[in-house]
Structure 1
């Protein structure tokens, strides 16, 4: 291995690690795990759905994600509508129908019109915005249907639901997007020479965008009311409820942010790697490994753990490409052993 190869491997490792860092923060910290006690395995599916939805728009097709949005919205409208009728809260019905059915229908109508006018001709920022509008609402909808009814269940039950949801979304992804992979157009084609290595601006964009989102998350949790409410729920769910913080609102908000981060991650990496319907699982799992290394409690440590995973994966692909996944996931064993021996065990209430 010479210096040029080492620079290329380091570049790839940092790029992958930046994506894993985003998913580590979304998957295992305040956003999902600490707030809802859910180990959200389907986090990676938002990565795949975000990338493949954007690819469908750029191919001039109607993204099949809109049908999932309409279906989930209809089911939620039926459930919420029946609850409103049972409680004689008739004034809620128009809002329920508008939010869960009206908005997705308007979005579907707009997309059908755009497909007729060739959405590939739209500016790239507009395409990205449309993809996010289709994928991000799936987060709170999934929480409402799958997790809110069992919010007080044990962590094991919530994990089993996550596994079932992951399998379901994988099947839906195969049905919607097919088995073939897709790539999207690059945000920029500029490249720079660093010594003997060629540095692509697209990879720099991934790292910069990841840093911006991580900083935005930090300010959200430190400076906003909703962020502080999520932190309070993460620290003490019962105490947060006594202070008037809705556990349902905290869960919906955390899943919304997790879906947004997953979709953004998929859109960022889609120009530099081929994304398949099931690609998100390994990406999300490696983000989870990074979060475990970071201890599930520290933003800087989770980000550092994710970067370590990215670098280890990159160098493993050079030295032993057939075993790179094994090497990455084996890293979690000594970390868990060390934490098991040094952490005071407390029975869950």
Structure 2
């Protein structure tokens, strides 16, 4: 898939792509590509592989935020056979930043919950760029309870810079709703699979991120705070110098998250990122969901809840120290 948005580190990739397009147009009508075209295609593939295998943490953020990166509703079209959206929280309104609905994928049925940022300007305004309000989390909680009632698994697709930080959101209790969502998901008696497909920003992401399996796409990130927010706190300014420093310090890339045990699996992205081949990424995601659903549905409720509790209870690195007596401490 061609993309018009050029990331700073992709300059040489686009130069080769432009040259390749020019040569292909010039050779239009020839049955076989010329030797030069074959060589450029090979060089382009190698260049993409090298670039995307060695992304810095800040470059990973840029890829995760790419405007053409597939979002929840894109995967609905590419992965699911049927999707019936469930609107509204039955209390305040219908937050378009979080979508929920009953889904069917081949012979498997589940409830889908996912962030939606939008692709066009109007969609982004409607979805608040994926920043959910309290009613979004209330809607998710309500429908996850409904899924559990019908013994349906829950699939959560995470892609948000964070919960909406506006005054109205705070007045309506967004922090409390996120906390309630954490409690509800930790106790939900049905399988839950969470996949970070783009940005995993702070509590806004964690609010639909408690599951039996937590996975992340190769070039997504999952963090307690945005790089800009971290830079603003540590260096008092978020600029082109401090944002990369904050990104490196936060250790939020898929490799680090897998190493620390925060995620269970990393899903490889197509060459050049998911935004270059949404169909390829959708196929990988579908395969992972199908496999994980079969695995989790073979477990009983007690096994699921015990495993979910143990998973999140043991996260983090701890160091055990010897107790120091008062006499030794004063010596």
| TM tier, smaller | under 0.3
Which structure has the larger Rg?
2
Higher fraction of strand = 2
TM-score scaled by length of structure 2: 0.25
Between Structure 1 and Structure 2, the one with more helix by share is: 1
TM-score (norm 1): 0.24
